[in-house]
Amino acid sequence: MNPNYEDSSWAHSKQSAEIEFPNDKQIEIFTQALYDETEGYISDNDLYAAPSAKKSATIAQKWEGITFTVLRFPLLIFVSIVILLELSFYMILRQFVYACEYVYSWRGEKRKLHERLYKADSYEEWKAAAQALDLYLKKEDWKEQIPYHYYDYKLISKLTSNLKKLRDNGDEQRLRELLLQGAVKSNIGGCENVRLYSNTYYGTKTLVEDFLHEVAESLAYIGNCERLSLNERLRFFKAASRSYGRTALCLSGGASFGYYHLGVIKTLAEKDLLPKVITGTSAGSLIAAMVGCRTNGELMDIIRPEIYELLTACDGGYMKMASNFLRHGSCFDAGEWAQKVQWVTKGCMTFQEAFERTGRTLNISVVPMGTQAPPKLLNHITTPDCVIWTAVIASSAIPGILKPVVLLRKTRLGHIEPFIDSGHKWRDGSLRTDIPLDSLHHLFNVRYAIVSQVNPHVAFFFYNNKGSVGRPITHSSGKGWRGGFIASSLEHFIKLDLKKWLRVLRDLELIPNIMNQDWSFVWLQKFEGNVTILPKSTLKDYIYILRDPDYHRMVNYITLGQRNVWPALHMIDNRMCIERIIEQNKIFVITPIHASIGPNSGNTVCSLRTFPILMHSEPSTMP
């Protein structure tokens, strides 16, 4: 271990994890329920559904007709061959584009500036390099040009001037109306379009920056306006919050690739950009639980390379995994995992307790056993008494890797017990919904999703033929198509055709349900968000995909995770700043005793152009 990282805070965190956790009594209850072979009906709609009659051990296969029986496997073989051929051509095409970008795009002074950008050790260094690269490529001229067909520049310009005029005239009544009816809307006029941030390495159109800054100033003005009563201001900011929506951080699955999430979390927390709503699936549920159960200060104490010492769920090696699979049908034992993950959730913490402790809304996605049962999003609203560490294990239960497990709940008296006595089992939510955007919108008014997507079978297919946030295409001064129009067209056609054949396999039910799972859902989901952060993985990551990290790999996970999020920080800042001002003013007007030191006293309007964010606050549990 590198002694430079060792300090008292880490030593205390490690000692607490080793001494306080695990709780043997909880593990005994979990194990006893886990190996209860009683099988009951799994409700599609109710987590607490009453058990029905015991299922028969053998169920007669449904007769599908002689044509289906004869043609099913020939069709399956034909479609599989087509998919393999298209996938091979797709991989060759992607490597061709990478080679062209490296050989022809990065030359001379441009290459030196890009290397400076790539080798930056901090966000400040990266930002300086990005601005230098923008200046060299004459991106500053593009920022000053108002017209652009990816946003409604006429609407944005008009809103900006009207907001400033009303604020200067002190017309708070019309200012409130304009904010609610026009300005404080998610993606108003296309101002959150990723294309606005994909043509430069840092920043966007000056008009968009001015508009967002004026919205922030106007919101602060309403918050400080003494001519409005506290109730009027409270109603305004509640309406603004509903209109603008909330931001969520979504952490995908991906086995050991999930450790890249740590770098993303670390950077967002350092810049005070970590959303209050966080969701995780599979490997992402482990990191999400770590965040949901801790304050920002506690997170900074543990997100460091030494954390590898506590991440030991996969310490047996591939020989042990193979042996377990042959004997038990899964590579790992849930009882052993229960002993190793309780430190993540600081013991037997429930979703409600985590929410009350940190103010964060933790969500974990799981799926009941059965091919037709819909996924469930566990949180402090749907399952307030659920023990979080059991949800983490359930969300990691991939068929063949870990058997489905039970969920535990904490009673009002503090006792731990299974949710129901019928032995219902739950497994990996990414099998159906890796990024549960619909549920987040329905439950928490989430309108904006920051997705850290590390699934190796998914990240490879993100192409961004016109560049991504903070990563414009490398030729034609950042204009045109990545790899040229022909290469981008071929990539798009092949990817759409692959999806078509996967849907054919699913809709015609050609794929047998292996391990009681329809595997087509693993590809046919929505995996991206408003901002999607992708890892720059290496071949070594695939070799260690089911292994615990060591010190050096953990350094790599955290460092690359941080670098992956840097290009998107400015766009995230522009979104989160408005949301934070609204939420802080809601709290301020609810507690008038703090009026003299309210959030808008002095220099409180966050800068939309520079870091760090000027509006900082401790986590709050207030709605």
| Residue type for position 65 | G
* Tokens linked to 609: 């152009």
Catalytic pick among 428, 434, 518, 541: 428
Among positive and negative, which fits the CA dihedral 469, 475, 480, 484?
negative
* Tokens linked to 550: 């060591």
Choose among 452, 425, 447: nearest CA to 437. Answer: 447
3-class secondary structure per residue, 142-208: HHHCCCCCCCCHHHHHHHHHHHHHHHHHCCHHHHHHHHHHHHCCCCHHHCCCHHHCCCCCCCCCHHH
d(CA 524, CA 556): 30
d(CA 547, CA 561): 18
Cα angle value 622/262/566 (rounded, 5°): 90
Strands (E), 261-370: 277-280, 361-368
Mapped onto helix, strand or coil, the DSSP state of residue 295 is: coil
| Residue type for position 560 | L
d(CA 607, CA 104): 38
Burial of residue 156 (number of CB atoms within 10 Å: 0-12, 13-18, 19+): buried
* Tokens linked to 248: 């969520």
Non-local CB neighbours of 375 within 8 Å, separated by 6+ positions: 365, 366, 367, 429, 432, 433, 436
Would you call 282 a catalytic residue per the annotation?
yes
Non-local CB neighbours of 121 within 8 Å, separated by 6+ positions: none
d(CA 513, CA 163): 58
Would strands 531-533 and 446-452 be described as parallel, antiparallel, or unpaired? parallel
* Tokens linked to 554: 């953990």
Mapped onto helix, strand or coil, the DSSP state of residue 31 is: helix
Non-local CB neighbours of 476 within 8 Å, separated by 6+ positions: none
Catalytic pick among 43, 198, 282, 330: 282
Would you call 428 a catalytic residue per the annotation?
yes
Burial of residue 539 (number of CB atoms within 10 Å: 0-12, 13-18, 19+): exposed
Radius of gyration, CA atoms only, the chain: 26
Q: Residue 2 carries which DSSP code?
A: -
Burial of residue 67 (number of CB atoms within 10 Å: 0-12, 13-18, 19+): exposed
Tokens 């071949």 identify what position?
539
**Can you give the length of the chain in residues?**
623
| Residue type for position 610 | T
Catalytic residues: 282, 428
